[in-house]
Structure 1
Amino acid sequence: MTLQLTPEQQNILDGNEGPARKLAMEILIKVGEGFGAQRLIPIQSVHLVLHAYKSAFDAGVEAAERIADMGGKFTVPTTIDPYGMDAEDWEGAKTPKEYAVMQKRLEAAVNRLGVIPVWTCTPYYGFNMPKFGENVAWSESSAVAFANTVLGARTNRQAAIVDICCGILGLAPEVGLHLAEERRGQVLIDLRMDRALQAWEYPALGFRLGQLLGNRIGVVVGMLGTPDTEELKALCAAAAASGSVALLHIVGITPEARTLEEAFGGNHPEETITFTKKDLLETREKMNTHKGKNVDIVALGCPHYTINEIITVQKLLNGRKISDNVALWIYANSAAIALAEKMGIRKDLESLGVTIRAQTCMIISPIAEWGFKVMMTDSGKCVHYGPMECGTEMVFGSVEECVESAVCGYVWTKEV
C-alpha cells in the first residue's frame, strides 16, 4: 500500500527542508507502508529508546551522531529512557571507561537533537504526560503499556531510530494502536480474588499475562480495590517484558474500560483465562530461578522508583543497616532523587548502606564487573531481563521481603 502524503510532507521528502527531515520522512514512509498505513498523523510527544550504549552499540551511537550532523532537530517534546550508566558516579559503579566514552557520545548526539534529558523509563511522572486520546510515539516497553493502559493515550511500541524520526517530524504512521478499532479487547482475563491484590501480586499478574497474551489485548475483570499508579506501573512493565503487551483494559479502573462491553468494543473474546490466587502463587514460584537462600544484590527501581516507593524503603528499614554481604541499590530518576535529598531521605538511606543509582537501571547499565550471581527484586520486568542482561539468577519478592533480605543477608520470605 502506498502511503498518501500531504503537500507539506511531500515537500519534506523532496529535500526542501534539509537532509535530516528528508531522511526521517523516507524512514517513516518505509515503516508506514510496511505496516499498511495510509497516512502519517501528527503526534504530541516522543519518548526515545536509543538511550544506552549497552543496547545501542557503536551503530546506534553513530546513527544518532549522523542525524545530528545532518541538522536534525526535534519538533515535538521528546524525552529519553534511562542513562546507560550511573549518571552521578559511573566510575564508582565500576563502569568500564571505554563504555563511558561511548555513552557520553550518545548523550551528546541526542542533546544536539534537542532531547529533554530526563533519562527515565517513567516520563509520565511529571516530564511527558499525554492526555487521553492523544497520539504519541513512544518506544520504552513499560512506558508504552502505561501510556496506552492507564492514560488512554495512543502509541505503538516504536523502535530506535524510528522514534528519532517521529520526533524530528512530529509525525507517526497511523496504524495499530493509533486506531480505535485496533484497541478493542481480544482476551478476557477473569480474575477471581475475594480481595484487592497485594503490591507484589501486580507484577506477578503482569508477568503471567505477558506470557499468555503475547501482543494481544487483554481485558481484566474482577480486579477489586483501587490500584495506585505505582502498582499499575509494575503490572504494565511486567506484562510488556514477559510478552509484548502494549495495552491492557482493566474493567472499572482504566479509562477505556468503564464497562466490559466498552473494553471489547463489540468484539467477542477469542479466549477466556481464569486467574486465581493459586495461579499467582504458582507464577511467583516460577519467577524465582534461584531456589537457595543466598543473595548478592537487592535491586529496586525497574521501572524507576518514585519518591513514594523510596519512602516505603526508608520506613521498612526503620534505621537498620544493610548486611555487609548484600548490596541494596535503588534506581530512580532525577526528580525522585532530588525530592529524597530535600527530605533528608537519601542521606538516611545511604548512612544505612543503601546505594542510589541515578537515572539508570540494572538492565541497561553494565554491572558484570561486580560479580553478582544472585539478584533479588520486586520487579517482574527485572525478573524477565535479569538473567540475560545481568547474568544473574533471580529471586522475586515483595518490597518488604527485598528489604528484609538485604538486612538479614539472605533470602527472607513471608508466608503468602
Structure 2
Amino acid sequence: MLTLTQYEQEMLVGKYGRLKQQALQKVVEYARILGAQELCEVTMAHVFCGAHGYLSAAGEGSVEKIVSQMQYCTEEILPLTEMACYCQSDCGPMDPKAYARMGVSETEARRNREFLDYYCQSGINMVGTCVPYLCGFIPMPGEHYVSSESHAVTLMNSLWGACGNADGLEAGFWAAACGRMPKWGNHLRDNRQGTHVFDVECAVNSSRDWDLLGYTIGRKLPPHAVPVINGITNRLSIISIKYFFAAMATTAGPEMCHIVGVTPEAPTLRAALGGREPVRRMTVTVQDLEESYRILGGGQALGPIDYISLGCPHYSIEELRWIANMLDGKKVVQGTTVHVWTASPIKEVADRSGYTGTIEAAGAVVLTSSCPLTSERMPTGTKTVGFDSAKQAHYIAASRQVNVGYGSLEQCIAAAVTGRWDT
C-alpha cells in the first residue's frame, strides 16, 4: 500500500497548483503499478527538451498544449510553473544556434526555439547534453534524481552511489514538476547488488577498448541483471567510463554496474554481490572484444567516406583538445563532412581555448545539443559513415540505409583527411 506524506497529500489535492497536482497524480499511478510503498524526494532532473519528432503525434497546436498532452498526459492546458528541483535539458533535435550547418530550416529552428524558451521560463537550464555529469549535474551518494539518458543513469548510480532509474521521458517531467518519484528499483539499496560477474581477462586501456568492453558485456548480460566487472587493474578516466556505460546501455539495459575496487559500492567482489553467490560468472577475452569490433563494422574497408560523426556521448573538453591537436595544420578532404558534437558549456570553453577555431580551420564543424541519433539527420546523400562510438554505429546501422564503419578516433581523423575509410 502506498503511503504519502502530508505534503504529498496536499499536493495531490491541488494545494500547490494544477501542474504539480497532475504530475504527482501520474507519479502516484506509476508507484501503484510498481507496487512502491512510498515516494522519494527527487532533487535533480535531466529532461528531454526541444521540438523532438515524437511530439508530432500531438498534431498542431501551441507549445503549451503539446507539452501538457505529451509530457503531462492531459488534454487540459497546464502552463509550466517553476520546477520543483534543479533541472537540465538533455540532447535536442538540433544545435539551436548552428542549426543551418546541419541542414535544418529556419522554420524548424524557430519551432525548436519556442519549445526551449517555454521550458527555460520554468527554470530548466538549457544545457542540451547527454553528459550532464560533465556540466554540473552531479547527484551525491544517496541523492535521488531522474535522467532521460540511459548511460548517464548507469554512470551516476555506479560511480557516485546516486539513486535513479531509467523511468522514461514523461516520468522525468513529472518528477521535475512535483519533486517526487516512486521509491523502487535503484532507489532501494537491496536492488543495487550485483548479480552477474564478468572476469576481464584482456587489456582495457584506450577509449575504444572500454567502448568494446561495454558493448561486449551488454551482449552477454541477461535482462534486469546487475553486472560486476572484476579484474580491472589500470586507472580509469571519466572519458573511458562514459564510453563503457554508453556501449553497455546500447546492447543491454543495466542501470547499475559495479567495478571491483573502483565504484563505491564495490570495494571488494563480495561487497558488490552483497555477500551472495553470483547468478553466473563469465569471462571476457580479447576474442570477445574482437567479435564486438566486427559486429560494429570495424576492420572493413568502405572506400570513400561521406560523413564522420564524433562525440557520442558528447565530447569532453579534453577530447576536443585531442582533436584540435590531431587536425592542427591538416584539412578535411572535400566531399567528406565531419561533425564534432559536444555540450554548449563545453564548447564555450573550447572556443576560449582555441580548440574550436583549430578544428573548424581544418574543415570540421563543432556542434552542440544534439547528434545524428536525436536529430535523425545526416548530410544529404550520405552513403558511408564513420564513428568512434559503438552506440552510434550500432543504432545507425540498424536504422539507416548506409554503410557504417567503426574505429578509433585516430582512424576517424585519418579518414577525414584522406576521404577514405580503410582498414
- TM-score, normalized by length of structure 1? 0.93
SS of 2:420's equivalent?
Answer: coil
In the other structure, the counterpart of 1:37 is: 36
Rounded Cα–Cα distance in structure 2 between residues aligned with 1:12 and 1:142: 32
In the other structure, the counterpart of 2:237 is: 228
1:351 matched to 2:361? The reply is yes
Rounded Cα–Cα distance in structure 2 between residues aligned with 1:197 and 1:260: 21
In the other structure, the counterpart of 2:216 is: 208
Task: Select which of 250, 260, 265 maps to 1:251.
Answer: 260
Q: Deviations over 1:208-233 (max 9, x none)?
A: 22222244110010112011001000
Rounded Cα–Cα distance in structure 2 between residues aligned with 1:180 and 1:370: 49
Rounded Cα–Cα distance in structure 2 between residues aligned with 1:88 and 1:260: 48
Give, in angstroms, the shift of residue 260 of structure 1: 0.3
Task: Select which of 108, 119, 130 maps to 1:121.
Answer: 130
Give, in angstroms, the shift of residue 358 of structure 1: 1.9
Q: Is the 8 A contact 2:301 2:421 kept in 1?
A: no
In the other structure, the counterpart of 1:327 is: 337
Rounded Cα–Cα distance in structure 2 between residues aligned with 1:83 and 1:70: 21
Give, in angstroms, the shift of residue 172 of structure 1: 1.1
Give, in angstroms, the shift of residue 97 of structure 1: 4.6
Q: Is the 8 A contact 2:52 2:93 kept in 1?
A: yes
In the other structure, the counterpart of 1:397 is: 407
C-alpha change, 1:120 and 1:399, in structure 2 (3 Å) is: same
Rounded Cα–Cα distance in structure 1 between residues aligned with 2:295 and 2:286: 14
1:16 matched to 2:15? The reply is yes
Q: Which moved further from structure 2: 250-259 or 182-191? A: 250-259
Q: Is the 8 A contact 2:302 2:420 kept in 1?
A: no
Q: Is the 8 A contact 2:150 2:246 kept in 1?
A: yes
Give, in angstroms, the shift of residue 122 of structure 1: 0.8
Rounded Cα–Cα distance in structure 1 between residues aligned with 2:266 and 2:317: 29
1:297 matched to 2:296? The reply is no
Q: Is the 8 A contact 1:65 1:106 kept in 2?
A: no
1:25 matched to 2:24? The reply is yes
Q: Is the 8 A contact 1:150 1:232 kept in 2?
A: no
In the other structure, the counterpart of 2:67 is: 64
Give, in angstroms, the shift of residue 74 of structure 1: 0.6
Matches within 5 A, 1:10-409: 10-59=9-58, 62-65=65-68, 69-193=78-202, 195-213=203-221, 214-288=223-297, 292-368=302-378, 370-388=380-398, 391-409=401-419
C-alpha change, 1:368 and 1:341, in structure 2 (3 Å) is: closer
Aligned-residue identity in percent: 27
SS of 1:124's equivalent?
Answer: helix
Q: Which moved further from structure 2: 350-359 or 94-103? A: 94-103
Q: What is the one-letter code of the residue matched to 1:220?
A: I
Give, in angstroms, the shift of residue 96 of structure 1: 3.9
Question: Alignment RMSD, CA only?
Answer: 2.0
Rounded Cα–Cα distance in structure 2 between residues aligned with 1:96 and 1:155: 37
C-alpha change, 1:30 and 1:63, in structure 2 (3 Å) is: farther
Q: Is the 8 A contact 2:312 2:341 kept in 1?
A: yes
Give, in angstroms, the shift of residue 150 of structure 1: 1.8
SS of 1:84's equivalent?
Answer: coil
Q: Is the 8 A contact 1:184 1:267 kept in 2?
A: no
Q: Which runs of 5+ in 1 are unaligned?
A: none
SS of 1:329's equivalent?
Answer: strand
Rounded Cα–Cα distance in structure 2 between residues aligned with 1:389 and 1:286: 15
Corresponding pairs, count: 411
Give, in angstroms, the shift of residue 51 of structure 1: 4.0
Q: Deviations over 1:220-268 (max 9, x none)?
A: 1011201100100010011112221211111112121111011111232
Q: Deviations over 1:164-197 (max 9, x none)?
A: 110111111100011111000011111102x443
Q: Is the 8 A contact 1:226 1:253 kept in 2?
A: no
Q: What is the one-letter code of the residue matched to 2:128?
A: W
Give, in angstroms, the shift of residue 5 of structure 1: 1.1
Rounded Cα–Cα distance in structure 2 between residues aligned with 1:38 and 1:300: 44
C-alpha change, 1:55 and 1:189, in structure 2 (3 Å) is: farther
Give, in angstroms, the shift of residue 70 of structure 1: 3.3
Rounded Cα–Cα distance in structure 1 between residues aligned with 2:237 and 2:102: 32
SS of 1:256's equivalent?
Answer: coil
In the other structure, the counterpart of 1:4 is: 3
SS of 1:370's equivalent?
Answer: coil
Rounded Cα–Cα distance in structure 1 between residues aligned with 2:327 and 2:415: 11
